[in-house]
Amino acid sequence: MSSPLLEVRSIEKEYESVRAVDGLSFDVQPGEIFALLGPNGAGKTTVVRMLLRILHPDRGTIRYCIDGTTKEKLLSHEVGYLPEDRGLYREIQIFRTLTYMGVLRGMKREAASRAAGEWLERMELGERKNDKLDQLSKGNQQKVQFIASILHRPKFAILDEPFSGLDPVNQEFFLDIIRELRLSGMTILLSAHQMDLVQRLVDRVLLVNRGRAVLAGTLANVRASSSAHKKVVLKIEGVADTSLFERFETVDHFHAVSDGEYAFSLRQGESLSRFLANASAHLNITDIRSETPSLHEIFLHTINNQSLQKDNGT
């Protein structure tokens, strides 16, 4: 395996009496899409600011490896950053702004202008290139911010909430673009709240809570290591007595999916075979399908469990 493009080891950051990041370690491999996830206040923004050297860790190391050279900070042309908060010039024409941002990141003006025009056309903003950012909708402003972050084709892009303000059609469009950038060789670290989109996109995830890593790995590994409830959907012939479901010892909770279909979440540690043996003894089951927990469900389950442990003092 090649050297990680980004290697983070035991970083810590404190603000007065609050430890925002607490011994966090992870790496990002060249050419992958890596998701940094966590609830508000988990420390994600602090981590990103340390990666960009806006902040410096109190302890620990951050190293990059670009074209065989190890360094602690990336040059402006090597990194792209899409911030959650919009930071572009709001009273300047967007074409001029994008050209200027490209030049700042090492592009020649002619190349920056050409790339800005091409990206605006692709984002269906070509006819609005002389508009100011404030004249655009929230979704179109997000498109301009996105262009600014990748216009110079950086080696490494950090995308913070890239789907913010986008309707479902444009969310799908952004998924395709991010995949395309990865295929071109760009390494991408993203943070987003739309878990359904994240799980369709990323190679690996890191879930952070209270500044610490709580789950990490590929989606398959994260699902396997999570204690989130297994789910089973049964199609039942005839009228089901739902009061019977409440007496199933293997079931934590259930709900109707559609007419004749019910989803059951099994208690932690319960086996599917035991549940099915119990259910088939009382129900006329015509179809069975199991469902792995979604990234969103794993996220909620893990964070809620940590909150309960904190409340219980464990």
Q: Does a structural domain hold residue 304?
A: no
- Domain boundary (197, 224, 251) is at 224
Pair 168, 268 in one domain: no
Pairing of strands 156-160, 187-191: parallel
Residues 140, 200, 300, 191: is their CA dihedral positive or negative? negative
Any domain includes 36: yes
Whether 182 and 250 share a structural domain:
no
Residues shown for the chain: 314
Same domain, yes or no: 219 and 233: no
Q: What is the pLDDT of residue 163?
A: 94
In a domain, 309, yes or no: no
Q: DSSP per residue over the chain, as a string?
A: -PPPSEEEEEEEEEETTEEEEEEEEEEE-TT-EEEEE--TTSSHHHHHHHHTTSS--SEEEEEEEETTEEESS--TTTEEEE-SS--S-TTSBHHHHHHHHHHHTT--HHHHHHHHHHHHHHTT-GGGTTSBGGGS-HHHHHHHHHHHHHTT--SEEEEESTTTT--HHHHHHHHHHHHHHHHTT-EEEEE-S-HHHHTTT-SEEEEEETTEEEEEEEHHHHHHH--PPPEEEEEESS---HHHHTT-TTEEEEEEEETTEEEEEEPTT--HHHHHHHHHTTS-EEEEEEEPPPHHHHHHHHHHHHHHHHHTT-
Q: Identify the CATH number of the domain in which residue 118 sits.
A: 3.40.50.300
**Residue 299 located in a structural domain:** no
Verify that 283 and 233 share a domain, yes or no: yes
**Contact between 74 and 64 (Cβ < 8 Å):** yes
Residues 87 and 47 in one domain: yes
Task: Note the pLDDT of residue 293.
Answer: 76
The count of structural domains within the chain is: 2
CATH number at residue 247: 3.30.70.920
Q: Are residues 147 and 269 in the same domain?
A: no
- Angstrom CA distances, 261 to 95, 232, 245, 288, stand at 53, 10, 13, 10
- From 175, 200, 224, give the residue that closes a domain: 224
**In this structure, what are the phi and psi dihedrals at residue 245, rounded to the nearest 5 degrees?**
-60, -35
Instruction: Determine the Cα–Cα distance for residues 170 and 146; give it in Å rounded to an integer.
Output: 12
Q: pLDDT value at position 48?
A: 94
The reply to whether 54 and 196 lie within a common domain is yes
Residue 94 within any structural domain of the chain: yes
CB count in 10 Å sphere of residue 219 = 19
Q: Do 30 and 92 share a structural domain?
A: yes
Evaluate whether residue 95 is within a structural domain: yes
- Is residue 197 domain-resident? yes
Q: Encode the chain (314 residues) as per-residue pLDDT tens digits.
A: 578 999 999 999 999 888 999 999 999 999 999 999 988 888 999 999 999 999 999 999 999 999 889 999 999 999 999 998 877 777 889 999 999 999 999 999 999 999 999 999 999 999 999 999 999 999 999 999 999 999 999 999 999 999 999 999 999 999 999 999 999 999 999 998 888 899 899 999 999 988 999 889 998 888 777 656 677 888 888 767 777 777 787 777 777 778 888 888 777 666 778 888 888 888 888 888 877 777 887 888 777 776 655 555 55
Same domain, 177 and 81: yes
Q: Based on the domain organization, do 103 and 143 belong to the same domain?
A: yes
Residues 236 and 218 in one domain: no
Is 200 within the bounds of a domain? Answer: yes
Q: Are residues 95 and 196 in the same domain?
A: yes
Range of the domain at 135: 6-224
Q: Is 263 exposed, middle or buried (0-12, 13-18, 19+ CB in 10 A)?
A: middle
